[in-house]
Structure 1
Amino acid sequence: MDRREHFDDPLEAIRCAIEGSTAGLWTALPGIVDSYDHAAQTVAVQPAIAGVIEDDEGRRVAAALPLLVDVPVCFPAGGGFTLTFPVQRGDECIVVFSARCIDAWWQSGGVQPQAERRMHDLSDGMAILGIRSQPRVLAPAADTAAVQLRADDASQYVSIHPGGTVEVKAVASLTLAAPQVVIKGALSVTGINGGPTTARLEGSLAASGDLDAGGVSLRSHVHGGVTPGGGNTGGPQ
């Protein structure tokens, strides 16, 4: 029982009633992923803010909220495309609670009647991943100029920079798989640190223009030491 209920103060009684009503109204909470169901695209989430209860002596003590189960995961999506990432135990998220029961919508999609009359309930959460507490802040920090899709440690990334530069970095390899790969613009190939490297092509190479190998033109080079009969020419020049 709230001791303020005994005060001879109507305004305090109203405030007490409002607080009691809003105590059961849930809007959003940070949470920590406990498990991820890849097929259902749902998570079990431990709310990261403890609740408060009163013990038998009227003392207010902190108590962990129950695990939220079967919480739909929100991946950025639209127009037939989706950005996904491998959700893992320990990831932080924010759980947004629907104003009305989502069970029928979650089961069937479209516009559905309310399966239950509950409102702002812990049962109707949806998880948005990406929020971070300070102990899990990105290191190195987020780029202040470029748009990036990156690993947390920035070891791999795709960066779009102001001025028109796009940069891709991979630790092991980069694979382009398509029936046809079209490159518009000049192509320059170097080693990973900027030095020389080796390019390998499995199959044929067709060029509408000339090819230059070590300063020697494939189209217009000449051979010295030409003799009639079965002799061999000199090297290309």
Structure 2
Amino acid sequence: MADRAIDIRERFDDVTELLETVADSVMARLPKGGPVTLTEDSEDGHTAKLQPTAKAVIRKIDGTTELVTLPVLPDIPVHFMGGGGITTTHALKKGDEGLTVQAALGIDGWHQQGGVQSPGDTRQHAPADAFLIPGVRSDPRKLKGVSKNSSQTRTDDKQTVHDVSHTAVTSVREDAAHQVNGLAVQSEKGGARHVVDAMTIQNVAGKILLNC
């Protein structure tokens, strides 16, 4: 029989090493949150079908490992920022990226009925009991032109922007813009401009039409 290399851990009893090995094995099998992409458009914005984008590492009997694509997660509840009867929403399209956060216990009862419910069974940290937080981005989908001085609701190409800063509220769509600040209200479209301040109303345009 050919000699084989002996792991040093096989030559001595080490309780600490044993416990750490067991802990590593348990943690490796415990599902965790991670990056996902939508496999199709969310029609109602309430749930989404998600593909985990980090493969699982499976250890075989012979000690080697294999990378395995995780299954699609159906009907995952979507988190939109909201409260007090007001919610900020956006479309959820196929290919959008996000992050899942998994609940400690089953969420089926709560998801179907709301309120305080029984988890239904003893499962814990199951991938199906996750919530989607949309908007997380990988480097290839990095959002460009992020404002350092204001909060914006915008399209990715920044052709449409609603900007709220400490000094003004500005809405822009291509070459049209409207701004409200502490001094005036101003609207622009191409070369035309309409400004209202505390003293005057100014119109600059090739043609002015007044309908009374």
Q: Alignment partner for residue 75 of structure 2, among 60, 70, 73?
A: 70
Q: Which has the higher Rg, Structure 1 or Structure 2?
A: 1
- Is the contact between residue 5 and residue 13 of structure 1 (CA under 8 Å) also seen in structure 2? no
Aligned to 1:144: 148
Aligned to 1:57: 62
Aligned to 1:29: 34
Give the TM-score of the pair, scaled to structure 2.
0.78
Please give the residue correspondences for 1:140-179 in structure 2 after superposition, counting only pairs within 5 Å: 141-162=145-166, 164-171=167-174
Q: By how many angstroms is 1:192 displaced?
A: 2.2
Separation of aligned partners in 1, 2:59 and 2:92: 36
- Is the contact between residue 190 and residue 196 of structure 1 (CA under 8 Å) also seen in structure 2? no
For residues 125-179 of structure 1, the C-alpha deviation after alignment (integer angstroms, 9 at most, x for no partner) is: 100001111111112x2111111001111111100122x21110124989xxxxx
1:89 aligns with 2:94: yes
Structure number with the higher strand fraction is 2
Equivalent AA in structure 1 for residue 190 of structure 2: I
Q: Alignment partner for residue 118 of structure 2, among 81, 97, 113?
A: 113
- Is the contact between residue 93 and residue 128 of structure 1 (CA under 8 Å) also seen in structure 2? yes
Deviates more, 1:28-37 or 1:148-157: 28-37
- Is the contact between residue 50 and residue 62 of structure 1 (CA under 8 Å) also seen in structure 2? yes
For residues 70-94 of structure 1, the C-alpha deviation after alignment (integer angstroms, 9 at most, x for no partner) is: 1011111111111111101111100
1:9 aligns with 2:7: no
Separation of aligned partners in 2, 1:58 and 1:198: 80
- Is the contact between residue 5 and residue 16 of structure 1 (CA under 8 Å) also seen in structure 2? no
Give the TM-score of the pair, scaled to structure 1.
0.71
Aligned to 1:177: none
Equivalent AA in structure 2 for residue 152 of structure 1: D
Equivalent AA in structure 2 for residue 122 of structure 1: P
Show structure 2 runs of 5+ residues with no match: 1-6, 178-182, 193-203
Show structure 1 runs of 5+ residues with no match: 175-184, 206-237
Aligned to 1:39: 44
User: Aligned to 1:22, what secondary structure does the other structure show?
Assistant: helix
Equivalent AA in structure 1 for residue 29 of structure 2: G
Q: By how many angstroms is 1:53 displaced?
A: 1.0
Which portions of structure 1, spanning 4 or more consecutive aligned residues, are displaced by more than 3 angstroms?
A: 3-8, 171-174, 185-191, 197-201
For residues 105-143 of structure 1, the C-alpha deviation after alignment (integer angstroms, 9 at most, x for no partner) is: 00000111111211111110100001111111112x211
Separation of aligned partners in 1, 2:205 and 2:45: 48
User: Aligned to 1:74, what secondary structure does the other structure show?
Assistant: coil
- Is the contact between residue 36 and residue 99 of structure 2 (CA under 8 Å) also seen in structure 1? yes
